[in-house]
Structure 1
Amino acid sequence: MTVIFFTITSFSKETLSDTFTVGFRSDWYPPLYFKKGSPDTGIYVDILYEIGRITGDDFKKKYYHTPRKYEMFEENLIDIEPGINPAWRKKHKDISIYTIPFGRAIDVMLFRKGARFSVKNITDLKGKNVGTVRGYVYPGYMEYFNYGRIKRDDSMNEEQLLRKLIKKRTDLAFINKTVAQYLISLHHYDCEYGNIIGDVEIMFRLHISKKYALERLNKALKKLLENGTIDKIYAKYR
């Protein structure tokens, strides 16, 4: 009996399910996730649900303003942050591990229908009013924004960003394509896609203390990718 007891205990973390705290921004980011209290779920929540069906794990949602979310992760009070590329969290690499990629974050130029213009290089945006989201960093464009070579017009979120574009308050917008597809379909906006300005893989970021769960989460994600479940989740919100 003693031998059996120690055998079970030594493998308990790897074989038993866990409850993980997942940190989301307090403002909504549809369709990737929705604000607290919304009847909608979102892509990241749906994927976590499917992972839980395989692993038995439970994922508890918590919502914070972005700076507080970073602090909570550093303090090991958040276990998982969804939809992250390691390049975005270089300052936290010592406490972070990542699952296999489950999707891509593709940022595009978006225009009103009929108002698209050719952008062969960044200088073609000189004098243009570019819609952006406050606090977001746009690699390759920041120097032009900072020195005023391109006018940056910040919005609080993507919903406001699109409204400004449709109302002709901006010439174009920089936006995540998945988010744009959802909002355009929801509001029946007439828009045209332009150049891709960013394309990176996204993963679930885990606190290093949860390293023991990485293998089973990766196995579940691999299964969901191979059987088409994740593709179906993304397609549901287009």
Structure 2
Amino acid sequence: MRSALGALLFISASAIAAPAPIRFAITDSWAMPMAQIERGRPIQGILYDVMLSLATQVGVPAEFKVLARARVHSSMEHGEIDVRCYAAQAWLPNQSGNYIWSVPLWLQRDLLIARPGTPAPVVPARLTAQPIGTVLGYYYPTLQPLFDSGQLQRDDARNQDQVLHKLQAGRYQYAVSNQWTLDWFNQRLMPDQQLHAVTVLQELNVGCYVRNDPKVPVQRILGTLLKMKMSGEIDDIIQLYTGTREPLPGTPAP
């Protein structure tokens, strides 16, 4: 009886002592180098590596929840997620709830891209009526008036990698890509086969936001993210996957 009671007390004490994990949101439309998702779990990528390092440095386990993009915000609202990374306040103008944002950690650079030999630069408003490769559920403010007017039409794919493969196959003449995914995709191609940017559509600083809850180590998370950025660790992770350092705002696209 004593041994059984002792075992029960040991298990209870262990459960109490075990730190709660940080629950991170992973968007299922992310592709490499942001994150590679297999069997419903992320296994590598820039954002995965940053989140895993963050949790390790904070001293708690990391738990990853793969969600459809449309479900991420509601999951944060309902307390099912603690941290969402690669987000911008401009994307969440009506954000409710109590959240605290990190310092800017990355530069989201959206590019209009094309196959080799396509002249640059391109002014989107001067394009003739045609489809543009886009990611389902993503909002492109620069192009939205042209989509609304019918001058350009969205051709949605499930993730960014599929968009680039369709462009490479000639399904459309132009597509939208972020800089990271373009750099990652081009690493597998010979120089004369690489896709290239024909104009920069938008540049936006993005970071992480944390649910402000006493159960979440908010200040440790934010302080660790700041340290990771200032030390160069985050930029080193970007370079590991893309071969380039994070571009500065206003720098011409390669």
Counterpart amino acid of 1:231?
D
Q: Partners of 2:178 and 2:121 in 1: how far apart?
A: 20
Counterpart amino acid of 2:210?
L
2:187 maps to 1:185: yes
Instruction: Quickly say closer, same or farther: Cα 1:200–1:39, change in 2 above 3 A.
Output: closer
TM-score by length of 2: 0.78
* Secondary structure at 1:35 match in 2: strand
5+ unaligned residues in a row in structure 2: which ranges?
1-17, 243-254
* Secondary structure at 1:151 match in 2: strand
Counterpart amino acid of 1:173?
A
State whether residues 108 and 195 of structure 1, in contact with CA within 8 Å, keep that contact through their aligned partners in structure 2: yes
Instruction: Quickly say closer, same or farther: Cα 1:223–1:129, change in 2 above 3 A.
Output: same
**Structure 1 segments of 4 or more deviating over 6 A?**
none
Q: Give the structure 1 partner of residue 36 of structure 2.
A: 34
State whether residues 100 and 203 of structure 1, in contact with CA within 8 Å, keep that contact through their aligned partners in structure 2: yes
Write the deviation string for residues 191-230 of structure 1: whole angstroms up to 9, x where unpaired: 1122111111111121232696332223222222222211
2:203 maps to 1:202: no
Q: Partners of 2:225 and 2:134 in 1: how far apart?
A: 32
Question: Bigger shift: 65-74 or 75-84?
Answer: 65-74
Q: Give the structure 2 partner of residue 172 of structure 1.
A: 174
Q: Give the structure 2 partner of residue 230 of structure 1.
A: 234
Matched-pair identity in %: 23
* Secondary structure at 1:209 match in 2: coil
Instruction: Give the superposed CA RMSD.
Output: 2.3
Q: Give the structure 2 partner of residue 95 of structure 1.
A: 98
Q: Give the structure 1 partner of residue 217 of structure 2.
A: 213
Deviation (angstroms), 1:57: 2.6
Number of residue pairs matched by the alignment: 222
Deviation (angstroms), 1:40: 3.5
Q: Partners of 2:228 and 2:42 in 1: how far apart?
A: 24
Counterpart amino acid of 2:62?
F
Q: Give the structure 2 partner of residue 8 of structure 1.
A: none
Deviation (angstroms), 1:17: 6.0
Match of 2:107 among 104, 108, 116: 104
State whether residues 32 and 161 of structure 2, in contact with CA within 8 Å, keep that contact through their aligned partners in structure 1: no
Instruction: Quickly say closer, same or farther: Cα 1:21–1:127, change in 2 above 3 A.
Output: same
Q: Give the structure 1 partner of residue 133 of structure 2.
A: 131
Please state which structure has a larger fraction of its residues in helix.
Answer: 1
Counterpart amino acid of 2:129?
G
TM-score by length of 1: 0.83
Write the deviation string for residues 165-202 of structure 1: whole angstroms up to 9, x where unpaired: 11222111111111121122245552112211111111
Counterpart amino acid of 2:121?
S
Deviation (angstroms), 1:77: 1.0
Counterpart amino acid of 1:194?
V
Deviation (angstroms), 1:28: 4.0
State whether residues 26 and 36 of structure 1, in contact with CA within 8 Å, keep that contact through their aligned partners in structure 2: no
Write the deviation string for residues 100-150 of structure 1: whole angstroms up to 9, x where unpaired: 11111111111111113432x432223243211122111122121122112
Q: Give the structure 2 partner of residue 9 of structure 1.
A: none
5+ unaligned residues in a row in structure 1: which ranges?
1-15
Q: Partners of 2:69 and 2:57 in 1: how far apart?
A: 30
2:145 maps to 1:160: no
Instruction: Quickly say closer, same or farther: Cα 1:194–1:142, change in 2 above 3 A.
Output: same
Deviation (angstroms), 1:235: 0.6
Write the deviation string for residues 16-65 of structure 1: whole angstroms up to 9, x where unpaired: 96521111123442211121446741111211222233321322101122
Instruction: Quickly say closer, same or farther: Cα 1:193–1:202, change in 2 above 3 A.
Output: same
State whether residues 33 and 184 of structure 2, in contact with CA within 8 Å, keep that contact through their aligned partners in structure 1: yes
Q: Give the structure 1 partner of residue 66 of structure 2.
A: 63
Counterpart amino acid of 1:145?
F
Write the deviation string for residues 42-100 of structure 1: whole angstroms up to 9, x where unpaired: 11121122223332132210112223333221111111111110111222243332111
Q: Give the structure 1 partner of residue 84 of structure 2.
A: 81
